[in-house]
A and B are shown apart, each in its own frame.
Chain A
């Protein structure tokens, strides 16, 4: 069906054809009969990574193929969303090994972006937990894993769909005793303090911080650090312990705070900000909460992205290596001066990562939203230059606008990745408007086969 398609940032919007498939034969037929296609999961990447002239939705390709309740091995088709996986596995005492800040993404999207969660410093990104997967490449359906067809495996993890369509994925779940998280929220007066707190709390499996981007002076970078662990059964209260692996009824979930909607207006921003801080009047709060508000605070408000209006927004997420964490302050200053960003940003630590093309590297990552407006892209180009200066890079899954050289200059393995893409996707059958924008050379269909 032809339609206007855009991803979570509502920018860019592309007039294109989107098709769907639910069995392998339909996918194969579609791939054979179209020159250029790109896989699309739930469209939760912010920019243009899953947009193309012909996008093929995986959402109906959502069957669970195997779930070993003893070992936690799970195998499924790529279009199943994380919320469905959780519904199946949590009652049996298994959790996702890695989850992003929304559960409305597909497993295919989790692999193609090699997503990270609040536990990256402790448990790595999604690819770290994959046993094997199948990819419909330009050279047919292939199985790959960390030990088999390894080029394809590593170019597919974080490869933004450019090696082909991921069909099935087998990965390892994580054992849990309860559906609850024992969390601790700590107020930090400024950026230095929150960085110090991150370090002090690095033994926690999960951590992230909300940073207030508008504060100046002594309060520059004031934030709230949130850390947590899966709660043990004996850490639950009596009521929770009656059904430790079941979430309390929907609707009763408390949203820790309301983020969206007010983001555009400086006045409301400040009001809410004050309220937010008043609510957390104690410096440290510890409590046991269901996993949903802990991992997915924004999911409680469906379509909060529409609050940014029809011009849409881009999310700017970069990572700086540990040795250049001072760059954070410089970049935050620039953002604060301009005053165009959302007032809250998310700050996380990444641990060491050894792979080909994934976004994470050991260091700090910051993400915030910018409503699209005149002059925004030149400003973001300036930020890009800073990020590169500090040895950092941008997350392709959030990107909708970076100049091609920014990508090629910041991902050290980019050219190697490109060569692998040429081998498995000769001629570039699988391509998005993002990969075109980044000027990928897909090689030619004949010379490589």
Chain B
């Protein structure tokens, strides 16, 4: 059975993704800052789906550790899904560099650092797949979250370049851009119910699209059209909006 490595495995979205892959029989490698918190999930996956699961310590901001983290995994993963992210506090980040850099480094630099490692390993083996969870927020910067959005924009561009490169090595890269998802990250926000996906729906979309080797998806699907409209608003108008 193939092995999937989930980076940032403790989040609601990651739990849903782990369960979706476990139900298809994958072996799971779960990685998070505090692996003790993953113990319950590990048991849960084993009991519900009769799969093997292991937990590993991983911090996206600890760039220097990424190579040894990857090399010490019990098996080389066939699929790596980069789920971690940090929405952060936009307003705080505007004047507090610590907050701003944490947003940028978690969503962009940290993701690039670990996926560089995974990419090298897969390119050498000439197989594997990488899935990166970016965001619709990366499609256009908005006043309410452009620090996060710009990091996700960078991540989206990185994934597209990586896809281009790894295509020639037989490795597939898929970009996922979720819209609103009902998770811990968005708990404090009031989201429009009709536009908001459950983590399990996102996980299902990802699983299905990965099976078809899609290059880039929006989830739920209608965000493609919402973002088309948002991207088509002329800048002279867009800048006047309070989004």
A20→B184 contact, CB < 8 A? yes
A60→B12 contact, CB < 8 A? yes
Of the listed stretches A21-29, A42-50, A226-234, chain B binds A21-29
Does A19 belong to the interface (CB within 8 Å)? yes
Output the least CB separation between A97 and chain B (Å). 18
**Across-interface contacts of B43 in A (CB, < 8 A):** 63-66
Chain B interface size, as a band, is 10 to 19
Contact with A along B10-28 (1 / 0, CB 8 A): 1010010000000000000
**Given contacts A1-B188, A2-B190, A63 and B40 within 8 Å (CB-CB):** yes
Does A67 belong to the interface (CB within 8 Å)? yes
Does B67 belong to the interface (CB within 8 Å)? no
From B15, B48, B190, B191, give the contact of A22 (CB < 8 A): B15
**Across-interface contacts of B10 in A (CB, < 8 A):** 22-23
Output the least CB separation between B224 and chain A (Å). 26
**In chain B, what residue has the closest Cβ to A61?**
B40
Contact with A along B202-233 (1 / 0, CB 8 A): 00000000000000000000000000000000
Does B243 belong to the interface (CB within 8 Å)? no
Does B124 belong to the interface (CB within 8 Å)? no
**Across-interface contacts of A60 in B (CB, < 8 A):** 12, 15
Does B44 belong to the interface (CB within 8 Å)? yes
**Across-interface contacts of A66 in B (CB, < 8 A):** 43, 47
Output the least CB separation between B19 and chain A (Å). 10
Residue from B37, B40, B44, B184 whose CB has the most chain A CB atoms within 10 Å? B40
**Across-interface contacts of B40 in A (CB, < 8 A):** 23, 63, 65, 77
**Across-interface contacts of A88 in B (CB, < 8 A):** 47-48
**In residues 1-42 of chain A, which contact B (Cβ within 8 Å)?**
1-3, 19-20, 22-26
From B44, B47, B191, give the contact of A1 (CB < 8 A): B191
A1→B189 contact, CB < 8 A? yes
From B12, B41, B187, B191, give the contact of A63 (CB < 8 A): B41
**Across-interface contacts of B41 in A (CB, < 8 A):** 63
**Across-interface contacts of B184 in A (CB, < 8 A):** 20, 22, 26
**Across-interface contacts of B191 in A (CB, < 8 A):** 1
Output the least CB separation between B160 and chain A (Å). 32
**In chain A, what residue has the closest Cβ to B38?**
A23
Cα separation A24 to B15 with both chains bound (whole Å): 15
A22→B12 contact, CB < 8 A? yes
**Across-interface contacts of A67 in B (CB, < 8 A):** 47
B188→A64 contact, CB < 8 A? no
Cα separation A67 to B45 with both chains bound (whole Å): 12
**In residues 35-57 of chain B, which contact A (Cβ within 8 Å)?**
37, 40-41, 43-44, 47-48
A63→B190 contact, CB < 8 A? no
Cα separation A67 to B43 with both chains bound (whole Å): 10
A-B pairs, 5 with minimum CB distance = A63-B44, A63-B40, A64-B47, A64-B44, A23-B37
List 26 contacting pairs A-B, 8 Å CB cutoff, sorted by A.
A1-B187, A1-B189, A2-B190, A3-B190, A19-B187, A20-B187, A22-B10, A22-B12, A22-B15, A22-B184, A23-B10, A23-B37, A25-B37, A26-B184, A60-B12, A62-B44, A63-B43, A63-B44, A64-B43, A64-B47, A65-B40, A65-B44, A66-B47, A67-B47, A88-B47, A88-B48
